[in-house]
C-alpha cells in the first residue's frame, strides 16, 4: 500500500518535477524490495492517502540537501545549484539515505506536508479587490471597504500580506511596486474590479494546526524543503516571500479552524469587510471540522449588515471542473455568490472568468 502511495505521488509530479518523480518512483521500487526506504518509512505503513507519505519523504530528503548533509546528492538539486541527472539520481541518493536513515525516519513521522505558496497571493489580491468593491456597492458606498483578512490553514502566513506584494502586469505593477516580492500573476483577463483603487488591509490573522514560524531558520528550511527542488520559479518566489515576511511579521495561531474562526468572528468591526480566506486546505480537513466551520460561518453570515459585511474567499480544487483550482467568493448580506476564475494550484497562471457559484 505504501509503495502504491509513493507511486501515485510520483505520478502527480509528472511533467512538473522530473526530479521528484524519479526519486519517488525509485523509492517506491525500493519499498517493494524492503530496502532502506522501508526502514525510513517504518511506522508509516498504514498511512492514508491524505497524509501524502511520499511527499513527506521527498521533503525530508530535500531538507538533508539544504542542510549540506548530502553532498553527493546535492549535485542533482537545482535549489542548491545542482543539475539533475536522473539515471544516477537513486544511486547517489542511497549513501545519504543509509547514512541518515534514523534522522529521515524521525522527520517523516513527525512532519506534515506544509506548503505556503506565495503565488496564491495573486488571485487573492484580485479577489479581495472584487469583494471590497462589491460590498461597497451593496452598501451604497462610493469607496471600497477596508479589509480584515482571516486565513484558515495559514501555514507560515506568507499570504497574509497581499497588499504588500507587487503584481506585474504588461504596463503597470499593482499593489506595492517596491515590494521585496513582485509576482508575475500570469493573468488571462482581469478581475471584475476597478484596479486603480488601493487595497486597504486593516487587520490580519491566521491559524493552522501546525503553524510554521518563518522568523526562524528551522521554519524557513521546513517550508523550503517541500518546494520541488527543480521548480526554481517557485523556489525564488518563496525566498522573496520569506524575506518580505521578515520585514512584516504576522503571527499564525496554533488552533483548529472552527474554534479559531468562531473567536475571530465574534468581534465585529464597523465599516470593515471581514474576509475569511483559505487555499488548498479543504482536502486536509475532517468532515466533522468542515461541518463545524460551515456552521460558524453561517452564524456570522446571518448577523452581517451592510456596514459590517462578511465574505468567504477560497481557492480550492473543484470536482465539477476536473479538479481545477477555482477562486470562489460569497458575500453577505449582499447575497453575492461567484466563481471568479480558475488557475493552477500554485496561484499562477490564473484565468479570470466570472460565473455563478452554485
> How does pLDDT run across 48-85, given as a tens digit for each residue?
877 889 999 999 999 999 999 999 999 999 999 999 99
Tens of pLDDT, residue by residue over 118-156, are 999 999 999 999 999 999 999 999 999 999 999 999 999
Angle at 208 between CA 168 and CA 62, to 5 degrees: 70
Task: State the CB neighbour count (10 A cutoff) for residue 294.
Answer: 12
Lowest mean pLDDT among 7-16, 219-228, 288-297, 309-318: 7-16
pLDDT of 171 reads 85
Q: Are strands 336-343 and 324-332 parallel, antiparallel or unpaired?
A: antiparallel
pLDDT value at residue 286: 85
Q: Is the pLDDT of residue 321 over 80?
A: no
Band (pLDDT 50/70/90 cuts) for residue 14 is confident
Residue labelled with grid coordinates 474576509:
275
Tell me the sheet residues that pair with 146.
272
Q: What SS3 class is residue 329? A: strand
| Predicted local distance difference test score (pLDDT) of residue 114 | 85
In whole angstroms, give the CA distance from residue 245 to residue 240: 9
Residue 328 CB partners (closer than 8 Å, separation 6+): 312, 313, 314, 315, 316, 338, 339, 340, 357
E strand spans, the chain = 146-152, 166-168, 173-175, 182-183, 187-188, 201-208, 252-254, 272-279, 310-318, 324-332, 336-343, 350-356
- Is residue 91 predicted with pLDDT exceeding 90? yes
Looking at residue 296, the DSSP 8-state letter turns out to be H
How much of the chain, in percent, has pLDDT values that exceed 90?
88
Provide the Cα torsion 222, 227, 233, 235; round to 10°. 20
Q: What confidence tens digit (pLDDT) does each residue in 236-269 have?
A: 999 999 999 999 999 999 999 999 999 999 999 9
Mean pLDDT of 351-357: 94
- Helix and strand numbers (H, E) in the chain are 12, 12
Residue 117 pLDDT class (50, 70, 90 cuts): very high
Average pLDDT score, the chain: 95
Q: What is the pLDDT of residue 48?
A: 80
The radius of gyration computed from the CA coordinates of the chain, to the nearest angstrom, equals: 21
Mean pLDDT of 101-123: 93
β-bridge mates for residue 350, sequence order: 187, 343
Place of cell 461541518: 291
310 grid coordinates: 462578511
Centroid of chain to Cα 173 = 23
Q: Is the pLDDT score of 298 beyond 80?
A: yes
pLDDT given for residue 285 in this prediction = 85
Q: What pLDDT is attached to residue 211?
A: 95
- Write the DSSP symbol of residue 346: T
What confidence category does residue 111 fall into, taking pLDDT thresholds of 50, 70 and 90? confident
Three-state secondary structure call for residue 325 = strand
Average pLDDT of the segment spanning 166-180: 95
Contact 233, 252 (CB under 8 A): no
Q: What is the rounded distance in angstroms from the CA atom of residue 335 to the CA atom of residue 90?
A: 55
Among all chains, which residue has been given the C-alpha cell 462610493?
A: 142
| Mean pLDDT (whole number) for 154-173 | 96
Amino acid at each position: 500500500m505504501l509503495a502504491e502511495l509513493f507511486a501515485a505521488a510520483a505520478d502527480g509530479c509528472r511533467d512538473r518535477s522530473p526530479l521528484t518523480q524519479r526519486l519517488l518512483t525509485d523509492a517506491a521500487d525500493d519499498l517493494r524490495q524492503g530496502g532502506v526506504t522501508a526502514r525510513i518509512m517504518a511506522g508509516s505503513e498504514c498511512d492514508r492517502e491524505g497524509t501524502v507519505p511520499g511527499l513527506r519523504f521527498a521533503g525530508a530528503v530535500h531538507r538533508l540537501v539544504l542542510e549540506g548533509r548530502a553532498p553527493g546528492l546535492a549535485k542533482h538539486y537545482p535549489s542548491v545549484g545542482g543539475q539533475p541527472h536522473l539515471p544516477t539520481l537513486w544511486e547517489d541518493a542511497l549513501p545519504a539515505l543509509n547514512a541518515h536513515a534514523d534522522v529521515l525516519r524521525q522527520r517523516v513521522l513527525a512532519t506534515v506536508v506544509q506548503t505556503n505558496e506565495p503565488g496564491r497571493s495573486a488571485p487573492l489580491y484580485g479577489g479581495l479587490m472584487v469583494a471590497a468593491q462589491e460590498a461597497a456597492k451593496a452598501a451604497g458606498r462610493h469607496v471600497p471597504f477596508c479589509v480584515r483578512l482571516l486565513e484558515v490553514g495559514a501555514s507560515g502566513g506568507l499570504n497574509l500580506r497581499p497588499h504588500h506584494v507587487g503584481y506585474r502586469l504588461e504596463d503597470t505593477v499593482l499593489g506595492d511596486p517596491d515590494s521585496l516580492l513582485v509576482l508575475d500573476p500570469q493573468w488571462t483577463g482581469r478581475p471584475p474590479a476597478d484596479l486603480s483603487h488601493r487595497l486597504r488591509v486593516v487587520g490580519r490573522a491566521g491559524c493552522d494546526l501546525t503553524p510554521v514560524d518563518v522568523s526562524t531558520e528551522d521554519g524557513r528550511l521546513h517550508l523550503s524543503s517541500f518546494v520541488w527542488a527543480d521548480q526554481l520559479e517557485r523556489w525564488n518566489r518563496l525566498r522573496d516571500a520569506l524575506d518580505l515576511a521578515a520585514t512584516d511579521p504576522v503571527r499564525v495561531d496554533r488552533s483548529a479552524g472552527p474554534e479559531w474562526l468562531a473567536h475571530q468572528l465574534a468581534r465585529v468591526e464597523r465599516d470593515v469587510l471581514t474576509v475569511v480566506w483559505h487555499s488548498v486546505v479543504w482536502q486536509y480537513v475532517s468532515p466533522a471540522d468542515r461541518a463545524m466551520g460551515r456552521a460558524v460561518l453561517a452564524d456570522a453570515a446571518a448577523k452581517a449588515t451592510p456596514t459590517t459585511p462578511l465574505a468567504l474567499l477560497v481557492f480550492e480544487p473543484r470536482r465539477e471542473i476536473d479538479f481545477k483550482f477555482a477562486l470562489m467568493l460569497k458575500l453577505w448580506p449582499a447575497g453575492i455568490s461567484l466563481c471568479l476564475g480558475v488557475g493552477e494550484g500554485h496561484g499562477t497562471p490564473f484565468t479570470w472568468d466570472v460565473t455563478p457559484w452554485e
